[in-house]
Amino acid sequence: MSGSGVARLVVFVAFFDLFCQFPIVAPFARQLGADPLVAAVTVATYDAANLIGNLAAGFVLIGIGRQRTLVGGLLASAIALALYGVVSEPWQFGAVRALHGLGQAVLSPGAFTLLSDSVVPARRAQAMGTAGAFIAIAAVIGPAVAGIAGTVFGSVAVFQAVAVLMLAASALVAFLGRNVEVSADPNDPVAGASKVSLGAILSRPQLIVANVACLAWTAGIGTLVVHLPLLLESRGASASVRGTAFSVYALVSLVLFARPSPWLVNRFGRLLPLAGGLSLIGVSLLGLAVTATTAGVYGAMALFGCGFGLLFPAVTSYIADHSSPAERGMAYGVFYAAYSLGVVAGEVGSGQLAEVFGAATVAPFIAFGCLALVVTPWVVTVNWRVATVRAIAPAQ
């Protein structure tokens, strides 16, 4: 199996596992006797451990390599999923959630590092678009499968089934991906860099742009996850409407990942599509604030899907362009830490605004929509400065 094939397999199973959790983990915590606050805290231990693990992922990838890191993450996730079936107390559930979050934390940075290593720079946008398509497919089928199977067979059965999937994936990566380590591409403009420093990753201007844009975009995701269902419920929308709204977002992004986005990223560079996608996300959140119809909600979610489908291949390719092969694990680890932090910020911020203004407020959509639109011109300015430097350099 090629390195890109291994990476896409890991991306799909990792995000399928993630999306399967959404409809069942909180009710499962309640079944163990947790009150609402304890349930929220135990569920959130996954995100806290995931954030820490994202930052550590780069060091792990450097220490033991891509393949071993991916196998270890898959095995840890499989063990955690199996342990959900034997916990009987909320604190035990929280401990297993932490293990699960740590196992998952190395999978996305490891997979995207391997994917970046496996393709030449000119084909990165297409490769990232394909990986994004696997994420979108997981987003479409994961919650639906988990919700239906959880209702029929129970949450433990879902956890065990996903554990078997993760175990099978770890075996495939272990036995079919033994030769996936990739040497530096001599045509890669940063291939010569060898020193790896977390400080350099955090302070590099190009990566700061990517991570700030990630925070702005994923804060919008956190807002959708927490506040959109509450808002629609307060308006009397059915559960099917709430679920379909997220499916619209995933399906539209899947269409863009398939072809248009990689072409646009290759045609116009990384930053302009990134800025365009971020602006669409901002407009879509503001659209959710002003619409009062189901059709309007679907339209706004479709626009959010367009933004995500456009910016994801751009930003993930941009990170690879501005990090050496040795640095990429750490660069993607920081990126996914920013991803987790943005989602948490959106979730917590939306909850606070709803606490102040009520469940029917549109304040979270206005606040985080404006955030995305404020960051957009900064990305455009950076793109202009980069283009100016490139235009001047040959003349010097």
Mean pLDDT, residues 82-87 taken together: 96
* CB atoms closer than 10 angstroms to residue 192: 9
pLDDT digits (tens, 9 = 90+) for 89-103: 999 999 999 999 999
Give the model confidence (pLDDT) of 222-276 as tens digits: 888 778 877 887 778 776 777 788 888 889 999 999 889 999 999 998 999 999 9
For the cut 70, the answer to whether the pLDDT of residue 58 exceeds it is: yes
Contact (CB, 8 A) for 359 and 237: no
Instruction: Give the DSSP H/E element, type plus range, for residue 326.
Output: none
Report helix, strand or coil for 188: coil
Backbone angles phi, psi at 278, to 5 degrees: -65, -40
pLDDT band at 1 (very low <50, low <70, confident <90, very high): low
Greatest Cα pair distance, the chain, in angstroms, is: 70
Cβ atoms of 14 and 140 within 8 Å: the answer is: no
Domains and CATH numbers, the chain: 1-178 (1.20.1250.20), 195-396 (1.20.1250.20)
Going by the DSSP 8-state scheme, the letter that residue 122 receives in this structure is G
Looking at residue 86, what is its pLDDT? Answer: 95
Collapsing DSSP to helix, strand or coil, 189 comes out as coil
Q: Which residues contact 42 (CB under 8 A, 6 or more apart)?
A: 29, 34, 90, 91, 93, 94, 97
How many CB atoms are closer than 10 A to CB 23?
21
Q: Minimal CA–CA distance to 225: which of 7, 49, 44?
A: 44
> What does the pLDDT average to over 362-369?
94
How far CA 59 is from CA of 50, 53, 62, 198, 270, in Å, comes to: 15, 10, 5, 9, 27
**DSSP per position, 374-387:** HHHHHHHHHHHHHH
Question: What are the tens digits of pLDDT across the range 17-46?
Answer: 998 887 788 788 889 998 867 877 787 788
Higher-confidence residue of 2 and 297: namely 297
Going by pLDDT thresholds of 50, 70 and 90, the confidence category of residue 217 is very high
> What is the C-alpha to C-alpha distance for residues 154 and 28, in angstroms, rounded to an integer?
9
What is the token pair recorded at 158? 């879902």
Please return the burial class of 155, using the count of CB atoms within 10 Å of its CB with bins 0-12, 13-18 and 19+: buried
R_g over Cα of the chain: 20
- 336 pLDDT band, cuts 50/70/90, is very high
8 A C-beta contact, residue 340 and residue 50 = yes
* Residue 137 pLDDT > 70: yes
